[in-house]
Copies of this chain bind each other. A is one copy, B any other.
Amino acid sequence: MDPDFTAPEFFPALVELLHWRRDVRRFQRDEIAEADVLDLLRVAQLAPSVGMSQPWRFVRVRSARARRAARENFERCNAEALGGYAGEDAALYAHLKLSGLDDAPVQLAVFCDHGCATGRGLGRRTMPETAEYSVVTAVHTLWLAARARGIGLGWISILDPQAIAAALSVPEGWGLVAYLCLGRPVETHLDPELERAGWERRQKLDDVLIER
């Protein structure tokens, strides 16, 4: 029997999911059931990885101390980023909500284990960055799966990755790839957060495709 995703109605629903996926910054504070979080993490492990290296490492950030470190780190980096804009850009930037760290019930720091022996180095010799890319596909898998379950995800990159790694005392050789907030979103919407705020618009395919 063919798998369900090969049915004709699946593809349009998948494209809908991609349209409705958002980088969420406004979360309800209600907890997410632990079983649901673990389910999503197991699904994330189905992501592709270079040489099957599976270099993703997930840190559940639960303690008040660790969460405070992340929030303070974001606030410092965000203030510095604001200082890099002037005029209208600065005014607009200052009004953007760029993290849900205060409300998101689930927070995950996702690392790449650069020293992992899994995969025996296959495919990483000329492009070692593919290890981090593998972690990115796991984050993206988690993101889509969460959205399909009604759980929002926000990716914060306005952080000092080394300071986060130090604050979380992760093993040697782990590099931060993403800091994620998860929770029920306050609202669902089709327009990207930054399009809605007037920061940027979607490009067309013609803008990004060439032939050789």
Which residue numbers of A lie inside 8 Å of B, CB to CB?
3-7, 9-21, 23, 38, 41-43, 45-48, 50-54, 56-63, 66, 77, 80-81, 84-85, 89, 93, 96, 98, 109, 118-127, 129-130, 132-133, 136-137, 140-141, 143-145, 148-150, 155, 157-161, 168-170, 176-178, 192, 194-195, 199-203, 205, 208-212
Q: Which residue of B lies closest to A194 (CB)?
A: B52
Q: Are A121 and B84 in contact (CB under 8 A)?
A: yes
Q: Are B208 and A148 in contact (CB under 8 A)?
A: no
Q: List 29 A-B contacts (CB under 8 A).
A: A3-B17, A5-B20, A6-B148, A10-B17, A11-B145, A11-B148, A13-B13, A14-B17, A14-B144, A14-B148, A18-B43, A45-B203, A53-B200, A54-B208, A58-B208, A59-B212, A60-B210, A84-B125, A119-B194, A122-B194, A122-B200, A123-B158, A126-B160, A126-B161, A133-B177, A136-B136, A137-B137, A137-B140, A170-B210
CB distance from A199 to the nearest CB of B (A): 7
Copies of the chain in the assembly: 2
Contacts of A63 in B (CB 8 A): 212
Contacts of A201 in B (CB 8 A): 52
Q: Are A13 and B23 in contact (CB under 8 A)?
A: no
